[in-house]
A and B are shown apart, each in its own frame.
Chain A
Amino acid sequence: DTGVSQDPRHKITKRGQNVTFRCDPISEHNRLYWYRQTLGQGPEFLTYFQNEAQLEKSRLLSDRFSAERPKGSFSTLEIQRTEQGDSAMYLCASSLDGHRFYTEAFFGQGTRLTVV
């Protein structure tokens, strides 16, 4: 396994268009996270899945954003009617639920979105 992979690596879109990103976690990991990183900032939590269940969503995730993780494997993040403020790096991470013990979250290389 080569780690968390994200596709595409870069996306340029016109304002108002819809975009969809994909994340493939490490195969045995049941937790999957989406973060957004804007220039000069640290990553900010967007949402989190345990298997196929979306357990938490940040208030940063407006109605234009939707995330899915069908069958608890890969995940998609869709942004509808993109705005220039959506331009950012979208990071995916995965981990194995360690129940009482912490297990490391592994990050993908991210998808850089530019809205023009």
Chain B
Amino acid sequence: AQTVTQSQPEMSVQEAETVTLSCTYDTSENNYYLFWYKQPPSRQMILVIRQEAYKQQNATENRFSVNFQKAAKSFSLKISDSLLGDTAMYFCAFTPRNRDDKIIFGKGTRLHILP
């Protein structure tokens, strides 16, 4: 079975600080995609960052970066210089590369950025 585990249900940090959200996953697939999605309150889910498992280099998107450890099946998200607008639910997710017909999500981490 393919599973995604987020061990931090809720986190709070001060604005401008750096925060790291944790994620582990389990799969027997060798090629897959990993994602972090952001779901702001009452708004739709948007893709924050994507990592392809066959790429060793960690993905970065502006203030967002990941630490992808394939052997450990770990995929953490770092948000640098956090903004109030980063307040949201963050979901770690996975899809096999050869059949990207569904995304498997973790339970999410609720992140509060405090002024």
Contact = CB atoms under 8 A, between A and B. Distances in A.
Nearest to B95: A102
Interface stretch (B12-20, B57-65, B75-83, B101-109): B101-109
Interface string B79-115: 0000000000001010101001111111110000000
Contacts of B50: 102, 104
Interface string B34-47: 00000000111111
B43 A43 contact: no
A42 B104 CA distance: 9
Given A107-B45, A109-B43, A102 B33 contact: yes
A91 B45 contact: yes
Interface residues of B, number: 23
A98 to B, nearest CB: 8
Interface string A88-116: 00010000000000101101111000000
Given A4-B44, A91-B45, A40 B101 contact: no
B40 to A, nearest CB: 10
B19 to A, nearest CB: 19
Interface string A27-64: 00001010000001111110010100001100000000
A113 B105 CA distance: 20
A105 B105 contact: no
Contacts of A55: 101
A110 B44 CA distance: 7
A102 B100 CA distance: 7
Nearest to A47: B102
B102 A104 contact: no
Contacts of B47: 104-105
Contact of A56 (B44, B45, B52, B102): B102
Interface of B: 4, 33, 42-47, 50, 52, 91, 93, 95, 97, 100-108
Given A43-B103, A107-B46, 5 more contacts: A42-B93, A45-B102, A48-B102, A102-B97, A109-B44
7 contacts: A33-B102, A40-B107, A42-B91, A42-B106, A43-B45, A102-B50, A102-B100
